[in-house]
A and B are shown apart, each in its own frame.
Chain A
């Protein structure tokens, strides 16, 4: 038996495997295939202040070991989300990390306030990195001061009992600069990574395949990029926890993130092809840790960064 419990800041979870924002709606559909309360948490699709239609179709293109999506944050708005989705998750005993998104700092603040004191919320994931926006200038996570502004405002407005995780984009020159700015603004941890901006052109129509033209690339194709981001941020800010994600399809994939420094992982695109992937990956991760002599997940977090002396201390502890 491996102690699989973990923490993201002040939030405790019985195990480290979660859904990924935008890949599990608000848990109800996946609950047909497995009990969502058996996961570490459900990370909900990014919610905004108002109902939002999302982008025109086509919204999806399959790519080698991945897919490009251009949903555009379709959703019911925060009030409906709290009344229906969050209430359902709480009633089913699922821990919930609520992902919030906005076009302006004020919107993030409004969302954080609406979730203030709600016992169903284990943590906030602040999506400042959705690539499906009209202009790259609007991706907060591409700019250190914009990231700092949003994260600082959310941290001040949010319930102090709800850790604030900054979800960052890999599409930057140095992700540690953005991470440091978020940390200084009060981030309690990070979600790494959001999708990469991509484009697919249909050779038949000779035009972009997606209605939104560009989209976010996800799936195993981006996994090494994600592991690299986790590694770099762990190295730069070892005191802050990381929720790692990007192409996790097996327990060994999840282990890579843990070894790079993630305290928990999100399973995203894999769910589209395999609805039971999160629970399978949880079991596989536990087996993989046991096989490597770990008695707790915590001992494996960041293990790849350790030298021989530090390693032996971790595994014999």
Chain B
């Protein structure tokens, strides 16, 4: 995920229309913390923040995100910016810290990347659903686009700790927009790099390298985080190979906690016991991690007529 959302905790019950769309167990409860910035590090075109946030670190899982207030106390920017967790360290060295990666996109992220160690941030997390982990060792390919690699690193660590063979593919438009090559290599032993312009790794897209990686380790699942077009393409490759893809989406969101209804995606309910129908589902609390096959990619940004409740939109309010 990149700048905006990722998930978690399901908490409260699902909101209405998505009530039956997905059900994951309650895993953690988000908290709002005023946190001290421990370090700010430039990494290529990105900025990596490590902050002291024990309440968030304690329960965070890979794939979840934090929502960060920007602009200071009297800012005209009211909405939080969401970032996938890059690490969450509940104990040991750096106990109670979490880190996340920021790409400068606009005024809010510009303000954020100008912060320095010792300053404070107002953060809410952990939010959203985590990547589902297999019950036992299961070969997996992890695909990161741009700074979407960030949440895949703790995921790779968790998978490897559980005995799963892991391959990592990272890609970006240019070398400067890659994130996490070294740490990915350290974590998984090897990493495949692609760039659109060939300025690093192989010229091409992550999906060019994906089929071979799946075959190499006999992958049973693909995990991905990055731009929507990439996630869709990853889902198609996985499907062609007959395996699942769990993807962390990025959707514009105002609140990150499930109340504003701005970050919805058309998602099919084909979970066990589901009704098979599609609904607008919040990517902040029902996602950001979805099975790629459930997302109706071609309908993102439109209102498909078979969506539950679409028939009520005609004419009225």
In the bound assembly, the distance between CA atoms of A179 and B300 in angstroms comes to 40
CB distance from A132 to the nearest CB of B (A): 7
> Contact between A273 and B317 (Cβ–Cβ < 8 Å)?
no
Query: Quick one: closest B residue to A130, CB to CB?
Result: B317
Stretch of A61-69, A223-231, A256-264 lying at the B interface: A61-69
Cβ < 8 Å to A, chain B residues 273-315: 279-280, 285, 300-303, 307-313, 315
When the two chains form the complex, which single residue of A25, A55, A75 contacts B303, counting CB atoms closer than 8 Å?
A: A55
In the bound assembly, the distance between CA atoms of A60 and B303 in angstroms comes to 16
**A138 touching B316 in the complex, CB below 8 Å, given contacts A65-B78, A275-B32:** yes
> Contact between B317 and A55 (Cβ–Cβ < 8 Å)?
no
CB distance from A247 to the nearest CB of B (A): 9
> Contact between B262 and A270 (Cβ–Cβ < 8 Å)?
no
**A53 touching B315 in the complex, CB below 8 Å, given contacts A269-B78, A276-B32:** no
Query: Quick one: closest B residue to A53, CB to CB?
Result: B309
Residue B116 at the chain A interface, CB threshold 8 Å = no
Cβ < 8 Å to B, chain A residues 107-139: 107, 127, 130, 132-134, 138
Binary B-proximity of A37-51 (CB < 8 A = 1, otherwise 0): 000000001001011
In the bound assembly, the distance between CA atoms of A281 and B309 in angstroms comes to 36
In the bound assembly, the distance between CA atoms of A99 and B251 in angstroms comes to 28
In the bound assembly, the distance between CA atoms of A224 and B313 in angstroms comes to 32
CB distance from B303 to the nearest CB of A (A): 4
In the bound assembly, the distance between CA atoms of A261 and B263 in angstroms comes to 36
When the two chains form the complex, which single residue of B31, B252, B255 contacts A272, counting CB atoms closer than 8 Å?
A: B255
When the two chains form the complex, which single residue of B79, B251, B253, B310 contacts A53, counting CB atoms closer than 8 Å?
A: B310
In the bound assembly, the distance between CA atoms of A186 and B122 in angstroms comes to 45
B78: chain A residues within 8 A (beta carbon): 62, 65-67, 219-220, 269-270, 272-273
When the two chains form the complex, which single residue of A23, A73, A84 contacts B259, counting CB atoms closer than 8 Å?
A: A23
CB distance from B300 to the nearest CB of A (A): 7
Cβ < 8 Å to A, chain B residues 1-41: 11-13, 15-17, 19, 29-32
> Contact between B303 and A53 (Cβ–Cβ < 8 Å)?
yes
Q: Identify the interface centre among B258, B260, B308: most chain A CB within 10 Å of its CB.
A: B260
Residue A211 at the chain B interface, CB threshold 8 Å = yes
> Contact between A102 and B317 (Cβ–Cβ < 8 Å)?
yes
Residue A10 at the chain B interface, CB threshold 8 Å = no
In the bound assembly, the distance between CA atoms of A158 and B122 in angstroms comes to 44
Contact-size category for B: 35 or more
Residue A71 at the chain B interface, CB threshold 8 Å = yes
Cβ < 8 Å to A, chain B residues 95-144: 108, 122, 124
CB distance from A115 to the nearest CB of B (A): 16
Residue A172 at the chain B interface, CB threshold 8 Å = no
Binary A-proximity of B71-85 (CB < 8 A = 1, otherwise 0): 000001111100000
Cβ < 8 Å to B, chain A residues 54-107: 54-60, 62, 64-67, 69, 71-77, 80-81, 84-85, 88, 101-104, 107
Which 9 pairs, one residue from A and one from B, show the smallest C-beta to C-beta distance?
A103-B316, A76-B16, A53-B309, A28-B12, A60-B262, A272-B255, A51-B309, A52-B312, A52-B309
Contacts A60-B254, A130-B317 known; 5 new A-B pairs at CB < 8 A? A57-B262, A80-B16, A102-B316, A138-B315, A211-B302
Which A residues fall within an 8 A CB radius of B? 22-26, 28-33, 45, 48, 50-60, 62, 64-67, 69, 71-77, 80-81, 84-85, 88, 101-104, 107, 127, 130, 132-134, 138, 211, 219-220, 269-276
Can you pick out 24 interface pairs between chain A and chain B where the beta carbons lie within 8 Å of each other? A25-B15, A25-B16, A25-B261, A30-B259, A31-B12, A52-B312, A53-B279, A53-B280, A53-B303, A57-B252, A69-B254, A69-B260, A75-B309, A76-B16, A76-B17, A77-B309, A84-B13, A101-B317, A103-B315, A103-B317, A134-B316, A211-B302, A211-B303, A275-B257
